[in-house]
């Protein structure tokens, strides 16, 4: 082997992209003066595409495999540079590698609340966030529309643009109001599929495909969630206010007994316990009515309870209820035998107190 042959062999290039990142989408192979030796070996790894670019024009595109760069497998570049009969000297060209694998766990989220009109709650403000995955499917369009021939191009270069496209479609789907807020959490997958379908053309214009779209959460403002929680509690306690009050008293006694420092809390617990004990003792010691006494016992009065300003009042008899000054047809009332609290205007015994002309 002559010295010339040895030097020529040493000048053969190995052109490859050993990508070790999770975010790089495009990378340009750098050589001094962009010179590539005749017969250079081009290695395109799985989930990669390589392009030869001549003076800003996309020439030949290579899929995964190993290639020896000659006029035989560079037909477009050969035509651009006017090689009719082959060549033996180095040539100038940019080699751009592109990653065609999936880029997963890309984040999206609404920067500002989306105002929607719910059939049951009316206008409400919603926030949403989640993830998506994308893949480069059209290298030529991607280079022409986004990356160009820059040295490095990563997902963070287009993260804001893609997020804005997604949020715009999410806002549109939510604003349609076709799904109730109460049912939305059970239909994240359905809503996500609609958003993915609508945003796909926007990704395609950049040579990308959105391969997965996930809605992780859609939330209401904190104050609205608190109101809904309170409504749920009231619905659960409807018709059981007495039981709830007794349970609260029992919990207070327990908490006071667990307080090692005693003090006022313990005194309150002891006082409440004594009151409950006295009530139970009075109920046990109450004499039974005497049958056949000189005077018949009075007729039992119906004990009514009523609500004023969210507070329970009573028990009072019907005459005292009517004379309370706060009773209206919309006042919630309850007596023994009723299944739950009812507005006074719908109770037969009280309906006469509210003539239709009132």
**Residue 220 and residue 124 in contact, taking contact as beta carbons nearer than 8 Å:** yes
Q: How far is CA 5 from CA 9, 12, 67, in A?
A: 6, 11, 22
User: pLDDT for 299-348, tens place per residue?
Assistant: 667 788 899 888 888 888 888 888 888 889 889 988 988 888 898 888 88
3-state helix, strand, coil in the chain (%, to 5): 40, 30, 35
Which is nearest to 50 in space by CA: 140, 148, 157? 140
Is residue 43 within 8 Å of residue 15, measured between CB atoms?
yes
Here the tokens at position 111 are 């920067």
Q: Name the DSSP class of 301.
A: P
The 10s digit of each residue's pLDDT in 128-184 is 999 999 999 999 999 988 888 777 899 999 999 999 999 999 988 888 867 778 788
Question: What digits encode the pLDDT tens for the residues 48-79?
Answer: 999 998 888 899 999 999 999 888 888 888 88
pLDDT-wise least confident of 36-40, 103-107, 258-262, 318-322: 258-262
**Distance from C-alpha of 112 to C-alpha of 161, rounded to nearest angstrom:** 16
User: Hey, how many other C-beta atoms are within 10 angstroms of the C-beta on 36?
Assistant: 19
Q: What are the backbone dihedrals phi and psi of residue 207, each rounded to the nearest 5 degrees, phi first?
A: 80, 20
To the question of domain 102-224 being in CATH 3.30.479.30, the answer is yes
Q: What average pLDDT does the segment 24-50 reach?
A: 88
Mean pLDDT over each residue of the chain, to the nearest integer: 80
Tens of pLDDT, residue by residue over 243-256, are 666 666 777 777 77
- The better pLDDT of the pair 244, 18 is held by 18
Pairwise CA distance, residues 167 & 190, whole Å: 16
Question: What local confidence, expressed as pLDDT, does residue 287 receive?
Answer: 59
CA distance 69 to 13: 10
In contact, 239 and 340? CB cutoff 8 Å: yes
| Strands across the sheet containing 332-335 | 311-316, 304-308, 332-335, 342-343
What local confidence, expressed as pLDDT, does residue 8 receive? 45
Per-residue confidence (pLDDT) for residue 1, from 0 to 100? 47
Question: What's the pLDDT score for residue 129?
Answer: 92
d(CA 328, CA 353): 9
What DSSP letter does each residue of 5-49 carry, written as one string?
HHHHHHT--EE------SSEEEEEEP-GGGEE-TTPEEEE-TTEE
Beta strand extents in 220-277 (DSSP E only)? none
If you search the block for the tokens 């033996």, which residue do you land on?
88
């Amino acid at each position: 082997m002559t010295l010339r042959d040895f030097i020529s062999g040493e000048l053969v290039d190995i052109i490859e992209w050993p990508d070790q990142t999770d975010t790089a989408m495009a990378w340009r192979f750098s050589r001094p003066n962009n010179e590539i030796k005749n017969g250079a070996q081009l290695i395109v790894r799985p989930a990669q595409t390589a392009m030869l670019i001549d003076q800003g024009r996309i020439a030949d595109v290579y899929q995964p495999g190993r290639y020896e760069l000659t006029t035989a497998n560079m037909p477009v570049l050969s035509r651009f540079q006017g090689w009719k009969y082959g060549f033996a000297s180095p040539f100038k060209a940019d080699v751009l590698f592109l990653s065609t694998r999936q880029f997963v766990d890309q984040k999206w989220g609404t920067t500002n609340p989306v105002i929607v009109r719910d059939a049951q709650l009316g206008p409400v403000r919603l926030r949403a966030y989640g993830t998506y995955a994308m893949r480069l499917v059209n290298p030529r369009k991607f280079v022409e529309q986004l990356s160009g021939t820059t040295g490095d191009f990563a997902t963070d270069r287009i993260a804001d643009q893609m997020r804005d496209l997604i949020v715009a479609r999410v806002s549109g789907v939510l604003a349609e109001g076709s799904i109730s807020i109460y049912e939305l959490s059970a239909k994240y997958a359905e809503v996500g599929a609609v958003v993915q379908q609508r945003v796909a053309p926007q990704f395609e214009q950049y040579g990308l495909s959105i391969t997965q779209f996930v809605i992780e959460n859609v939330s209401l403002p904190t104050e609205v969630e608190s109101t809904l929680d309170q409504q749920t509690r009231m619905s659960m306690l409807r018709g059981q206010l007495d039981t709830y009050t007794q349970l609260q008293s029992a919990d207070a006694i327990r908490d006071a007994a667990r307080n090692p420092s005693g003090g006022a809390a313990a005194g309150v617990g002891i006082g409440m316990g004594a009151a409950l004990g006295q009530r139970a003792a009075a109920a046990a010691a109450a004499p039974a009515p005497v049958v056949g006494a000189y005077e018949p016992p009075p007729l039992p009065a119906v004990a009514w309870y009523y609500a004023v300003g969210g507070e329970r009042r009573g028990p009072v008899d019907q005459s005292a209820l009517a004379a309370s000054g706060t009773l209206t047809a919309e006042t919630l009332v309850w007596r023994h035998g009723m299944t739950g609290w009812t507005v006074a205007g719908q109770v037969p015994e009280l309906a006469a107190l509210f003539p239709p002309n009132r």
